[in-house]
Structure 1
Amino acid sequence: MKKFFFLPVSLPFLILLLLLIPILFLLFAGTITLAFQKLGLPLPVAYTLFWASLIGSFINIPIAETKTYAPILKVKEVSFFGIRYPVPYIDWGEQKMVIAINVGGALVPLSIVTYELLRFAIAGNMELIIRILVAILIATIFSNFFSKPVKGLGIAIPTFIPPLIAASLAFLLGGPNKPAIAYASGTMGVLIGADLLNWNRIKELGAPMVSIGGAGTFDGIFLAGIIAVLLV
C-alpha cells in the first residue's frame, strides 16, 4: 500500500528538535530578561516585560481609520455570439485602511523609555537625559534613511542596522549609562524614524491595516533595543 504521509525529517531528529525548542525558548527568554536587568529593572519586572513584549506583538490597537485608493481586481462579462465570457481587469478603487498601534513593538518600549527618563529626572541626572535625547535624534535620522514602505505590509527596516547604530551611540555618548542610551536610541529611533516620520506615506502601502511598531518594524524596534543593550 502506497504511503501518502511521511515525515520531512527522521524520527530521532524530530524528537531532538522538539526537545530543543523549550531549551531555545528559555535561552531566548533569559537573554531578553538579562537585557532588561541591565537597564536597572528588577527581575520580576524584567520577566513581566518579556512576556508583555512577546504576547503584545500579536496585539494591535486601532487608533484611526482612513481611506486609500489601490488597484483592485475586477471581472466584467463580454458577450460574443450570445456566449458570456468573464474577463478580469485591474481598476482603481477606494478601500478602508485601519491604522493601529502594536503593544509589543510600540507601547512596551515607549513605557520602558518613559520610565527610564523619569527615573533619571527624579535623580536629577539631566545630563544623561540630554545625552539620551541626542542619541534618539541621531538614531531617528538613520532609521528614517534606511526605512522603506513595503506595499501590502508596512514600513520595513533592515534588522541589523538599528542595533548597530544604537550600540555605537551608546559607546560615544553613554559613559557609565550605556544600556539606557542603547535601548532608548534603538527603540525610539526606529519607532519615530521608520514609522512616525513615514506617516504621510502610509496611504501608498495598499494594506487593509497598518500597525505602528508592528509587522516589519516590530523586529527593528524590539531587537534594536535588546541587541544594542547586550552589545554594550
Structure 2
Amino acid sequence: MPIGIIILIVIQILVYFGVAEEMLNEMGLTTSMAFLFLTLMILGSFVDIPISSEPVVTLNVGGAILPIALALYILFNVEEKRVIYRTLLSVLIAGGVIYGVNTLFQFEEGHTLFDINYLYPVIAAVISYLIARSRRAAFITGALGFLMYDLIHLGRITLGGIPGEAEIGGAGAFDAIVLSGIFAVLLVEIFGETRERLAAGGNKGEKDRDNKRNFDRKLVHSEFGELGYKEKEEEQQEERGEDDEE
C-alpha cells in the first residue's frame, strides 16, 4: 500500500478521535469536512482521468483534483490579502525550486541514497514555513508545490517537445503531495508554536515588570505623594545599580 494512503488513514483516525481538531479549526475546516475529504482523497488516488494520448497525460483525482479543490476552498476563506499573496508566492517558489533541484541533480530511481519522494516534501514544507508561516498557507504550499512541479513537467513535454509522460498527481507524486502537506503543517505547528510561546513568555515578563512598576507607583503616591515616589524610584535605581556592579 502506498505510503500516502497509509498516512491519510492514520490522519483519519486522529481526526475521528478529535486529536487534530484545533489544527483543523485554524485551517477553517470542520472535523466532518476533513474526514470526508480524506476519504475521497484515498478513493480518488485509484482514479486517473486520461487527458491526452500523445503525449500520455493523466490527471489523478485524489492527488490533483481534490487537493486543488481543498486548497482553493481554504484560500477563499482567508480574509487577509497579505496571506493570500504569500501563499501564492510560496507555491510558485516551491514548484520552481523542486523543478530546479530535480533538473540540477538528475535523480534516477535506484541510484540515490534516499527516496526523492521524501526530499521534495521537505523542500516544499521549508519554503512554505519561511514564506507563508501559517497553517493554511503551509498546507496549500505543501500540497500544491509539487503539483506546480508536475505542471512545469507537463509544459516541457507538451510545449517543449521533450519526450515523456505526465501523471499529474498520480504515482509517486501522490505520496509526495500528501507528505508535503503534512510536513508543512507540522513545521508550522512545531516551530511556529515554539516561537509564539517564547515570544509570549518574553512579553509576559515585560508585562509583569510593568504591572509591578505601576503598582509601586500607585502605592507610593497614596502613602507619600509625588515627592515620596521620586525618592522611592531613586532608591530602586540605586539598588539596580548595585546589583549590576555585583
User: Which residue in the other structure is 1:60 paired with?
Assistant: 48
Aligned to 1:106: 64
Residue in 1 aligned with 2:82? Answer: 127
CA contact (8 A) 1:159 1:224 kept: no
Hey, what does 1:49 align to over in structure 2?
Answer: 37
Stretches of structure 1 lacking an aligned partner (at least 5 in a row):
1-23, 67-96, 152-156
1:26 deviates by 5.8
Give 2:163's aligned amino acid: E
Are the structure 2 counterparts of residues 146 and 226 from structure 1 closer, same or farther at C-alpha, using a change threshold of 3 Å?
Answer: same
Q: For residues 122-149 of structure 1, what are the alpha-carbon distances to aligned partners after superposition, in whole Å with 9 as ceiling and x for unaligned?
A: x3x1111011011112101111123469
Structure 1 position 221, deviation (Å): 1.2
Distance (whole Å) between structure 2 residues aligned to residue 211 and residue 25 of structure 1: 20
Change (3 A) 1:58 1:146: farther
Contact persistence 1:183–1:228 (CA under 8 A):
yes
Please report how far the alpha carbon of residue 150 of structure 1 lies from its aligned counterpart in structure 2 after TM superposition: 9.1
Distance 1:140 1:184, change over 3 A: same
The 3 A distance-change label for structure 1 pair 25 and 113 is closer
Say which of 140, 145, 159 aligns to 1:189: 145
Separation (CA, whole Å) in 2 of partners of 1:150 and 1:169: 21
Q: TM-score, normalised by structure 1?
A: 0.61
Q: Judging by fraction of residues, say which structure has more helix.
A: 2
- Which amino acid letter does the alignment assign opposite residue 172 of structure 1? L
What SS is found at the alignment partner of 1:40? Answer: coil
CA contact (8 A) 1:139 1:189 kept: yes
Would the alpha carbon gap of residues 55 and 173 (structure 1) be closer, same or farther in structure 2, given more than 3 Å must change? Answer: same
Amino acid paired to 2:93: I
Say if 1:166 and 1:213 are closer, same or farther in 2 by CA, change over 3 A. Answer: same
Q: Which residue of 1 aligns with 2:193?
A: none
Count of residue correspondences: 166
Shift, 1:162, TM fit:
3.0
Q: CA RMSD in A?
A: 3.0
Q: CA deviation at 1:31?
A: 4.7
Q: Any conservation in 2 of the 1:32–1:226 contact (CA below 8 Å)? A: no
In structure 2, distance between residues paired with 1:25 and 1:172? 25
Cα distance between partner residues in 2 of 1:170 and 1:196: 19
- The 3 A distance-change label for structure 1 pair 223 and 31 is farther
Larger strand proportion, structure 1 or 2?
1
Bigger Rg over Cα: 2
Match for residue 10 of structure 2? 27
- 1:159 aligns with 117
What's the CA shift string for 1:164-209, capped at 9, x where partnerless?
233323432334xx2112111112111011x11112237633x6xx
Q: Tell me, yes or no, if the aligned pair for 2:48 and 2:61 is still in contact at 8 Å.
A: yes
Partner SS state of residue 58, structure 2: strand
Matched, 1:227 2:183: yes
> CA separation in 2, counterparts of 1:117 and 1:106?
16
**1:204 match: secondary structure:** coil
- Go from structure 1 to structure 2 and tell me whether the alpha carbon gap of 1:186 and 1:25 turns closer, same or farther (over 3 Å shift): closer
CA shift in 2, pair 1:150/1:102, >3 Å: farther
Deviation at 1:211, TM superposition (A): 2.1
Give the aligned partner of residue 127 of structure 2: 169
Distance 1:174 1:217 in 2: 23
2:192 matches 1:204: no
User: Percent same amino acid at aligned positions?
Assistant: 31
Query: Gaps (5+ residues) in structure 2?
Result: 1-6, 109-114, 189-246
* 2:73 partner letter: Y
